[in-house]
Amino acid sequence: MKSSTSLLSLLSFVMSGLLIASCAFPDENEDTDPIETGKIQIQFDNVVGSQDLKLDSVRYTNSVGEDFTVSKLNYFISNIKLTKIDGSVFTVPQDSSYFMIREANAGSQKLVINNVLTGEYTGIEFVVGVDSARSVSDESQRKGILDRYSGPTNEEAMYWDWNPGYIFLKMEGSSDSAMTANGKYEYHIGFFGGRTERTLNNLRTIKMNFPGQKAIVTTSIVSNVLIQANILKIFDGPTQLSIRKSPGIMFTDSSKNVADNYANMFSVKEIKIN
């Protein structure tokens, strides 16, 4: 209740601010509100070990010695929470908390979170994928980046029509080890737990502390949290994956192995104060 109350007051503060700005009645007394907000940037950088990921042009080697390129890498990030130094948690309003990171689109990798309570933050939490409640919600609740019929979700085919649900992570590329007709490997990982009956749940929550640094949010200071995603870990984690053995992992039980692996691919690289 505490957080929703503060959220409400935050909202009303923003609203009243908007009204004041747009009307600017000189004789009105400006309501004073003790809550101050700022913004924070969260930047995702996809890497391969110590190298920056380059689409198509560079061949990499996974942990079982198979070569591969990456032609496409997209994943959803949602339900972001920030931990304050006092242990309290600031939850980004859910409607503003869905993003799709696309390696081919630099702008998509920089998330700007507005209306963050000012303070010092020591950690971050987010979900890779689209939570089940939102996945089954009415389509009017899934516009913007979640619109299955327009924009990136449609263009990048990040939604399964035949078994309705978002693809949380999609990685495709080619490999000499892929014994497919076109030499491609394709990982499409989805499954939010089931619409009418319980199914596999490949939603993964990532929780990380900021290493040795704090992200400071004030009305003027914007911190930039750089998160690296090491895609070698998609192949190598609790389960070591082989492109030769499984060039296509989509709607199968083994998709959970991929999800378990990529749940470990994120790390907070650094925090910059702007």
Which contiguous run of DSSP H or E holds residue 111?
A: strand 110-117
Q: Which of 20, 58, 85, 179 binds another protein (CB under 8 A)?
A: 20
Contacts with another protein by CB under 8 A: the residue count is 30
Contact string 30-49 vs another protein (x = CB under 8 A): --------------------
Cα–Cα dist 94/55, whole Å: 31
* Sequential DSSP letters for 2-47: HHHHHHHHHHHHHHHHHHHHHH--TTSPPPP-S--EEEEEEEEEEE
Stretch that binds another protein, among 78-86, 88-96, 188-196, 217-225 (CB under 8 A): 188-196
Task: Say if CB 235 and CB 198 are below 8 A apart.
Answer: no
Q: Which of 6, 109, 199, 218 binds another protein (CB under 8 A)?
A: 199
Cα–Cα dist 10/33, whole Å: 9
Residue pointed to by tokens 């609203």: 15
User: What are residue 107's DSSP bridge partners?
Assistant: none
The answer to the question of residue 161 lying near another protein (CB under 8 A) is yes
β 119-128/72-84 pair status? antiparallel
Instruction: Count other Cβ atoms within 10 Å, centred on residue 219.
Output: 10
Stretch that binds another protein, among 17-25, 64-72, 82-90, 233-241 (CB under 8 A): 17-25
The answer to the question of residue 252 lying near another protein (CB under 8 A) is yes
Stretch that binds another protein, among 158-166, 222-230, 231-239, 265-273 (CB under 8 A): 158-166
- Closer Cβ to another protein, 1 or 24, answer by number: 24
Which of positions 111-150 make contact with another protein (CB under 8 A)?
Answer: 139, 147-150
Which parts of this chain interact with another protein (CB under 8 A)?
Answer: 16, 19-20, 22-23, 25, 28, 139, 147-151, 154-155, 157, 161-164, 191, 194-197, 199-200, 251-253
